[in-house]
Amino acid sequence: MTLYDTTVSKIDQLPESLVQEVSDFVDFLLMRQDSIRWQQWNQFTETLTLSDADFSDYLSNLEEYEDRLARGEIQW
């Protein structure tokens, strides 16, 4: 039995939800082979990281503002 056949046999034993995860991982591997798509993916994830960092700063500032409003230190 080849590695391919063994892998397919193992996948056949998985529940549908895990087969979806395997499929997603295969998509990831295929994308990683395509250098242009891989570069785009890396740029996308870097952008997400930056936007998450910016959002967390915004969120903490918003929470501080709401706390100050609740304490009556500032008014709406």
Confidence check: pLDDT of 49 > 80: no
Residue 55 has pLDDT above 90, yes or no: no
pLDDT for 1-44, tens place per residue?
899 999 999 999 999 999 999 999 998 888 878 788 778 888 88
- Structure-token pair, residue 28: 């990831």
Q: Which amino acid is at 1?
A: M
Does this model's pTM top 0.85?
no
For every residue of 14-50, DSSP letters joined together read: S-HHHHHHHHHHHHHHHHHHSHHHHHHHHHHHHHHHH
Over range 46-60, report the average pLDDT. 69
